[in-house]
Amino acid sequence: MEIINPEETAPVCEDHCNTENSARKSHHSEKTKSNLITRLNRIEGQIRGIKGLIDKDTYCDDVITQISATQAALNSVAKILLEGHMKSCVVERIQEGDHEVVDELLVTIQRLMKK
pLDDT digits (tens, 9 = 90+) for 17-73: 544 445 777 777 899 899 999 999 999 999 999 999 999 999 999 999 999 999 999
Label residue 6 by pLDDT band (50, 70, 90): very low
- Do residues 80 and 9 make contact, with C-beta atoms less than 8 angstroms apart? yes
- Do residues 83 and 10 make contact, with C-beta atoms less than 8 angstroms apart? yes
- What is the distance between the alpha carbons of residues 32 and 29, in angstroms, rounded to a whole number? 5
Reading phi first (left if > 0) and then psi (alpha if -120 to 50, else beta), residue 57 is in: left
Phi, psi dihedral angles at 29 (to 5 degrees): -65, 160
Domains and CATH numbers, the chain: 28-113 (1.20.58.1000)
pLDDT above 90 coverage of the chain, percent: 66
